Structure 1
Amino acid sequence: MLQEVEKTRARPDSPRITAEEARAMARAVIRLFDKWQITAAQAQEVLGGLPARTYARWKAGDIGRIDRDLATRLSLLMGIHKGLRHLFTEPDRGYAWVRKPNRAFQGRAPIEVMAEGDIFSLQRVRAYLDAERGGW
């Protein structure tokens, strides 16, 4: 006998990323940037032009207030990481992918696209990975 599955609500109870979630993502992204082997300057641009002092504090574990734009960037980076983990069975290949030229980005490496600084560049890389793994 078939049973109807409860529908997922279109609007979640908590539509915003909480401060605790944002701090956890920030810690994860710092570790991710190390795995990606990108420069501090690239990391700062990916994070929307985060000042060098703030980035240094983050690396030292002192993560302060995270605004909505930065939380969205962190979320996109987590989605990029997730997409790479789905596409590559060997994590090191996924970490290296961000530094390799890619025809989808006119021969530029994905990190170059993400480091353009605007949030749309992050979304572009995320959408590419989602399409590659059949997400949308």
Structure 2
Amino acid sequence: MSEVHTGKLSSVERVQLTRVIMSILDSWGMTAKQQVDLLNLPPKTPSRALRRYREDTPFPQTNEVDERLEHIVGIVDALRTTYPHNPAMGALWMKQRNKQFQDRSPLRVMVDEGLDGMMRIRAHLDCAYDWFNDSRTGASGK
């Protein structure tokens, strides 16, 4: 999986991406409420809507949802390159407490901090993403 520009996807590709993202969130052990919150879906999104996302309905096409999808894809891609010989390690790493995150799991950081947490986890895993963002904002290197 590589960087995805969700605005340029066909409706079939959006359905495929939605299925993949739901599978990823399920593999991370996220509850339905956590999935709704992380994806910035409407707060009262019913569980049957999440079931439809797993089957044949694409996520709503909004800037907020699309940005979060791109971060999830970036995180998964970084986990794939971090653990190239054992894909299950990525999901395990997402659930393990980490001193870098005040003894919280990366998943907890994302749930607690939303988009900022997603960007923080992605930057931790992907030095190219972190460097690119630092250079765009003028922030100094780490």
TM-score by length of 1: 0.75
Between Structure 1 and Structure 2, the one with more helix by share is 2
Q: Deviations 1:51-106 (Å, cap 9, x if unpaired)?
A: 23432321232225321110110010000000000101211111111111011111
Relative to structure 2, which stretch is displaced further, 102-111 or 17-26?
A: 17-26
The Cα shift of 1:19 comes to: 4.5
- 2:102 corresponding residue in structure 1: 106
Could you say which structure has the larger radius of gyration? 1
Q: Is the Cα contact below 8 Å between 2:15 and 2:58 reproduced in 1?
A: yes
How far, CA to CA, are the matches of 1:120 and 1:56 in structure 2? 27
Question: Of the candidates 22, 46, 55, which is equivalent to residue 52 of structure 1?
Answer: 46
Which runs of 4 or more aligned residues in structure 1 lie more than 4 Å from their structure 2 counterparts after TM superposition?
none
What SS does the corresponding residue of 2:95 show, helix, strand or coil? coil
Q: Structure 1 vs Structure 2: percent identity of aligned residues? A: 26
Q: Is the Cα contact below 8 Å between 1:45 and 1:116 reproduced in 2?
A: no
Q: CA 1:64–1:134 in structure 2 vs 1: closer, same or farther (change >3 Å)?
A: closer
Unaligned 5+ residue runs, structure 2? Answer: 132-142
- 2:134 corresponding residue in structure 1: none
How far, CA to CA, are the matches of 1:64 and 1:129 in structure 2? 25
How far, CA to CA, are the matches of 2:73 and 2:6 in structure 1? 16
* Partner AA of 1:18 in structure 2: K
1:75 correspondence with 2:84: no
- 1:94 corresponding residue in structure 2: 90
- 2:7 corresponding residue in structure 1: 17
What SS does the corresponding residue of 1:45 show, helix, strand or coil? helix
* Partner AA of 1:65 in structure 2: P
